[in-house]
Amino acid sequence: MSDSQRHPTGTMGTGRIEALCDGVFAIIMTLLVFDIKVPDVDPAQLATGLVTLGPSLIGYGVSFVLLGIYWLGHRAQYQYIRHADQNLHWLNMLFFAFSGLIPFTTGLVSQYPAQFLAVAIYGVNLVLIGLALYVHWLYVVRHPRLVKEDLTPMVARYASIRCLLAPACYTVAMGLGFLNPLIALVLYALVPLLYIFPLMQGTWLRLARRQS
């Protein structure tokens, strides 16, 4: 069967986009480790030198988990996407572009954790990634020819809530970070727990049902 027979006019399959996402995130997540340098100190001061790597190690861990969550979110969306058009491709590029900044913003906040500007830049980066993923999903939901038949309205709302939760939390964290940057950093690190613990799945489903 030809590609034109399998996909509506102006669309194509999603395989290449999904493969590109895997490759992009693999590279970005690998680049995070380059900010962690082996301390160039006297052997007797190695322990002290390793302690100084604390901010970089924490930044690596938090950003790695956050990228993993966004990758899983993108992957989950494509369980319901059958076709992709040109606009969807560009929305993916936007999502990848914002995600690609994470190694830089992670290095920035790791080096200047007490500076609100660095903390805010990292937060803005996280918000932009989340919003890009939300806009990507919103576009798909509003173009039924791109989705599979098993995408129900409740599932669409459930996914939308998941997409918007993180950007909302990061925005609040940045506001509190204006008072104390450490508060924002702690909240940045806690946000992934909302996606990791299964307990939250029921909460999101209840919210989706209330809107139905």
State the DSSP code for 14.
Answer: S
**Whole-number average pLDDT of the chain:** 86
Assigned CATH topology for domain 3-210? I/LWEQ domain (1.20.1410)
| 65: pLDDT strictly greater than 90 | yes
Which of 26-40, 171-185, 191-205 shows the lowest per-residue confidence on average (mean pLDDT)?
Answer: 191-205
Domain spans in the chain, listed from the N-terminal domain onward: 3-210
pLDDT band of 46, cuts 50, 70, 90: confident
pTM summary value: 0.86
Q: What is the pLDDT of residue 6?
A: 57
Q: What is each CA distance from 112 to 10, 43, 118, 186, in whole angstroms?
A: 47, 26, 6, 15
Which residues does residue 84 pair with via DSSP β-bridges, in sequence order? 12
Determine the average pLDDT of the residues in 37-66. Answer: 85
Cα distances (angstroms) measured from residue 134 to each of 8, 73, 91, 159, 172: 24, 10, 10, 9, 18
**What is the percent of the chain with per-residue pLDDT over 90, rounded to a whole number?**
58
